[in-house]
Amino acid sequence: MDIAVLVKQVPDTYSERKLRESDWVLDRDAADAVIDEIDSKGVEIGLQLTEAHGGQVTVVTMGPDRAKETLRKALAMGAHKAVHVVDDAFAGSDALQTSAALAAALKSLNVDLIITGNEATDGRTASMPAMLAERLGLPSVTSVVGITIDGQTITAERVVEGGAANVTATLPAVVSVNEKIGEPRYPNFKGIMAAKSKPVAVLSAADLGLEPGTLGLANASTQVVSGSPRPMKSAGEKVTDDGAGGTGIAEFLVTQRLI
Amino acid sequence: MAEVLVLVEHADGQVKKVTGELMAAASRLGSPVAVVVGAAGTAAGLAEQLGAAGAAKIYAAESADPLELLLTPQVAALAAAVAVAEPVAVLLAATFDGREIAGRLAVRLDSGLLADVVDVAAEDGVVIATQSVFGGAYSTRYQVTKGVPVISVRHNSIEGAAPAVSSPEIVVLETTVDPATATTVTKWLPEEVGDRPELGGAKVVVSGGRGVGSADNFHVVEELADQLGGAVGASRAAVDSGYYPHQFQVGQTGTTVSPQLYVALGISGAIQHRAGMQTSKTIIAVNKDPDAPIFEIADYGVVGDLFTVAPQLASAVKARKG
Ligand SMILES: Cc1cc2nc3c(=O)[nH]c(=O)nc-3n(C[C@H](O)[C@H](O)[C@H](O)COP(=O)(O)OP(=O)(O)OC[C@H]3O[C@@H](n4cnc5c(N)ncnc54)[C@H](O)[C@@H]3O)c2cc1C
Ligand SMILES: Nc1ncnc2c1ncn2[C@@H]1O[C@H](COP(=O)(O)O)[C@@H](O)[C@H]1O
């Protein structure tokens, strides 16, 4: 079973993430760029499934040149090959355009299963798996905490706000993983060395057959109107408990009319 | 007035609170119109509630067993309603389900998608949606420049209500779902819904972290939440240690909350936790470590043991209520 796993490079959630004050888009220089944790979990599930059922894992990313670091990380974990969707003409793409480019790349891979994260930590859009499934005419099995595949049948436990469900769908399909699905493996030294010689295919807009007049910020379906930084809260009063810490909070809440 | 479609969230014959918020948002842009997906008779059963929430009309897509297919019936219903109504915008709740439906719909309509917005407005006839970025560190305003804006709106972020309508008209939609795209539910595993308010919309949230130490100890957090009439939340460390179920996680990869009052018990205040709660109006922190980063954003912090401070606070609140 051949699997494509989508991996996105995002600003590290441990650092202070910033928008550029000129155009309110992500300031790529402000924070370290890392593979989104959720996508490393996607890679892990992809590897487990190919270990059990055979086949190869291809990791796919769309992003600027340096996003290839993210592909290397996934290759070091054990993915077999990689696809980098990259073109200057993609700069400023919105979700609709990104889904069109990724869907074109995925179509050319012709895999049985596509795995993504359920929600990227930068945009929190949580829509890409469904958008890809819609473009490719496939089922979307989202936010799963466990998945098994038997022949052409996927069974999974899906967890979202308000409840969970056991669900089933037929391959080929798009599956998105929930962070509670388990921890990803760490690349070992051997994996890191092997990753250096694994194939990374680079696909441009022209390679994917995308119309130039549909690409990039100028043709995006959403546009920033304005932005503003929001002042963060600053520290208020801090007291050390002297035996009346709880009562002190209650008194504070009274002054704030909260109780 | 032009229509604004709202996908209705409902369960057991009740319209959910977020639907009222979406109706209020819709009324700023045009005439709110409800889209109901459910078993036969659902729309008629919900009509009175939806009218009270401001729905001028109801589009109904009803089928024998709508709960069996996951989300594709909602996409089909909205697409059919868009074709009839030519609306100004489509609004959905920014839940995982809502954002998934929105993603499919945006592709089907070849339209701009804005996820998890916290405000909407019409400015010179243009729909403007505001997003809160990186846990509220920025606010950005967007417009959709292609197609019908498909917008998911965060819980508890829209104030006010749409004017009530008496007996809204029900319009039946015929829809079909492509079986090739079907995900089927074989078993619902419903969450226990207790008496506490829902985390995303609660006015008061009391959260416990790794410092709570065990699942058994979490009753200390629950008792304070109950005295304050609030919801219970948890840090990821508390969830991953098995102290509290995962749907209660607050933070970057959990629920974003913005209550009037947030109480953090035994939570260090990691940046990813703060990303889900730092826009709360008033923040109280109790932590043994005077250098815990949570104190940097706390309006009132107590350096102390949560097991003595929290019960004392709970009894002080109780005493005040008399
Ligand atoms: C991609 C990503 C996403 C993440 N998403 C989230 C998220 O959504 N939500 C989230 O919470 N975290 C998230 N995290 C994890 C985050 O980095 C922290 O690990 C986590 O928030 C720590 O939880 P904690 O504060 O409960 O635990 P700790 O950091 O271990 O803190 C426990 C605190 O309890 C205090 N304490 C101990 N005993 C007592 C006592 N008796 N009385 C008072 N205080 C006591 C200690 O002093 C300490 O400060 C994410 C991380 C990543 C990488
Ligand atoms: N540019 C991208 N490149 C690769 N994968 C992506 C990209 N954008 C989104 N994804 C995938 O889609 C998932 C959900 O993203 P989102 O819908 O943006 O929240 C992510 O966890 C990734 O797996």
Q: Report the DSSP beta bridge partners of residue A223.
A: B143
Q: Ligand 1: which of A9, A12, A13, A180 to mutate, most ligand atoms within 8 Å of CB?
A: A13
Measured from CB, residues less than 6 Å from any atom of ligand 2 are: A 6-8, 36, 38-39, 42, 61-63, 98, 116-117, 119-120, 123-129
pLDDT beyond 70 at A10: yes
How far apart, in whole angstroms, are the C-alpha atoms of residue A68 and residue A218? 25
Looking at chain A, which runs of residues are DSSP E strands? Answer: 3-6, 9-11, 33-35, 57-62, 81-85, 113-117, 140-150, 153-160, 163-170, 173-177, 200-203, 222-229, 237-240
Q: List pLDDT tens digits, range B139-195.
A: 999 999 999 999 999 988 999 999 999 999 999 999 999 989 999 999 999 877 788
pLDDT tens sequence across A70-117: 999 999 999 999 999 999 999 999 999 999 999 999 999 999 999 999
| Residue A228 β-bridge partners | B139
> Comparing C-alpha atoms, which of A36, A190, A191 is closest to residue A115?
A36
Six-digit token string for A217: 């910020």
From B232, B239, B244, B237, select the one nearest B268 (Cα to Cα): B237
Give the C-alpha separation, B191 to A141, whole Å: 20
Residue B289: pLDDT above 80? Answer: yes
- Please determine, for residue B76, whether its predicted confidence score (pLDDT) is greater than 80: yes
B37 has a pLDDT exceeding 80: yes
**What's the CA gap between A80 and B98, in Å, rounded?**
34
Q: Out of A17-21, A57-61, B316-320, which region has the weakest mean confidence (pLDDT)? A: A17-21
Average pLDDT estimate for A8-37: 92
Output the furthest CA–CA distance in chain A (Å, rounded): 70
Is residue A141 within 8 Å of A175, Cβ to Cβ?
yes
* Nearest beta carbon to residue B104 from set A130, A157, A163: A130
At A86, which amino acid appears? V
Percentage with pLDDT > 90 across chain A = 91
- Within 13 Å of residue B161, how many CA atoms lie on the same side as its CB? 12
For residues B63 and A44, what is the distance between their CA atoms, to the nearest angstrom? 39
**What pTM was estimated for this model as a whole?**
0.96
Of B110, B114, B304, the CB nearest to A245: B304
- B113 neighbourhood in chain A, CB within 8 Å: 94-96, 125, 127, 131, 221-222
Whether B142 and A95 lie within 8 Å, measured CB to CB: no
The mean pLDDT value for B209-224 works out to: 98
Tell me what pLDDT residue B66 has.
62
Kindly tell me if the per-residue pLDDT of A252 is higher than 80. yes
pLDDT mean across residues, chain A: 96
Residue A26's pLDDT band (cuts 50, 70, 90): confident
The 10s digit of each residue's pLDDT in B266-280 is 999 999 999 999 999
pLDDT of residue B219: 98
Q: What is the mean pLDDT of residues B204-209?
A: 98
A258 and B137 within 8 Å at the Cβ level: the answer is no
- Is the per-residue pLDDT at B322 higher than 80? no
Separation of alpha carbons B97 and A127, rounded Å: 9
Backbone torsion region of residue B165, taken as left when φ is above 0, otherwise alpha when ψ lies between -120 and 50, otherwise beta:
beta
CA A124/CA A104 separation, integer angstroms: 23
Per-residue confidence (pLDDT) for residue A162, from 0 to 100: 79
Chain A, 84 to 143: residues with Cβ < 8 Å from chain B are 94-96, 99, 118-119, 121, 123-131, 133-135, 137-143
Q: According to the model, what pLDDT value does residue B64 have?
A: 72
Please say whether the beta carbons of B316 and A246 come within 8 A.
yes
Is B104 close to A128, i.e. CB distance below 8 A? no
Q: Cβ of A28 under 8 Å from any chain B Cβ?
A: no
pLDDT of B244 above 90: yes
Task: Tell me if chain A has a CB within 8 Å of the CB of B247.
Answer: yes
Q: Which atom of ligand 2 sits closest to the CA of residue A117? A: 21
Residues B26 and B57: their CA atoms lie apart, in Å, by: 13
CA of A224 to the centre of ligand 1 (A): 34
- What average pLDDT is seen over chain B? 95
Put simply, whether A225 touches B (Cβ < 8 Å) is: yes
Cα separation of B266 and A145, whole Å? 27
Asked if the Cβ–Cβ distance from A138 to B311 is below 8 Å, we say no
pLDDT at B138: 94
Please report the residues numbered 90 through 149 in chain B whose beta carbons come closer than 8 angstroms to any beta carbon of chain A: 95-97, 99-104, 106-108, 110-116, 128, 132-134, 136-147
Inform me whether the pLDDT recorded for A123 exceeds 90. no
Interface confidence, given as ipTM, is 0.96
**Does residue A189 surpass a pLDDT of 80?**
yes
Q: What is the pLDDT of residues A105-117, one digit of tens each?
A: 999 999 999 999 9
Q: Are A168 and B133 a contacting pair at CB < 8 A? A: no
* Minimum distance, in Å, between the CA of residue B248 and any CA atom of chain A: 9
Residue whose CA lies nearest to ligand 1 atom number 31: B268
**For residue B288, how far is its CA from the centre of ligand 1 (angstroms)?**
13
Q: Is the CB of A13 under 6 A from ligand 1?
A: yes
- Average pLDDT, stretch B74-91? 97
Q: How confident is the model at residue B255 (pLDDT cuts 50, 70, 90)?
A: very high
